[in-house]
Structure 1
Amino acid sequence: MSSTAVVPLTIQDAEALIVAAAEAADGLRIPVSVSVLDAGGHLLAFRRDDRAVLIAGETSTRKAYTALQLNTPTADLVDAVQPGGLIHTLPTALDKPLLFIAGGVPPHRDGRLIGAIGVGGGTPDQDHRTATTAHATLN
């Protein structure tokens, strides 16, 4: 059985995602923090705008971690954790830094999960737009 190796998310990819997210956030006129994780959940790159609220650093990392662990954009998970939702008890059932707020996106390469980007500091919609704009630039 032959298996083709998938190129992992590199530091160059992570830095390009940071730059693209910063440009997208500047376009929306919002100060954000951006975290990029590799497929193992390790921080590859981080940037916090000088004007971003301090908690945005933590939220950007948790959004990226959540998107990575569930292999789904966090915007698609918000309803699932509401009362009656499919994974309503997940946030309290695990001792993990999950955050079910829009702004986390998991990039793939050749159909395989390679990491995640998380954005915090704007509204959930702004964070999601910033993360998806950056994600779209990944080759």
Structure 2
Amino acid sequence: MQFIIHIISLFVFFELLLHLDFTAMSAMLKLSFVFFVLTIALFECFTTSTEAREVKNENGREANDRKWCIAKPSTSDAQLEMNVQYVCQQGYYKISCSVIQPGGSCYIPSNKVSSASMVMNLFFQQDGQTANACYFNGSGLLVYENPTVGSCNYPPQ
């Protein structure tokens, strides 16, 4: 419904533009008016494009009902290591990082993204699945499909 209101608003602004007599206006006033209308139009487009929408996965469920936090594959090794250290050494949630250590179900020493993703998700789940809990200096990525691979099971919500 809000999208329709935005479209109608844009239509009204452009109709005003078409019916105004610009010959009697000074050049500066014309430019100011056009800039104002374009600003409103861009604002309307921006607010429309950022509205929350219901997203469904292939099972027809709302995508937002289960979330996981993983590391972006492009994250540097240094940032991945900082993420692991942050999660494993903070004391508030007492997250066990044994799953990414030798003998753990997610121990893959050659895949730092996988190890970091597991502990980042543990932190994200423990912290209530807030957007900030998956930020990790911009290296976190929210996903709506379970990233479990093999015996490395990601706990759901």
- Confirm or deny a common fold (TM above 0.5): no
Q: Give me the TM-score of the superposition, normalised by structure 2.
A: 0.25
Determine which structure has more spread, i.e. the larger CA radius of gyration.
2
Whichever structure has more helix as a proportion of its residues is 2
Q: Give me the TM-score of the superposition, normalised by structure 1.
A: 0.27
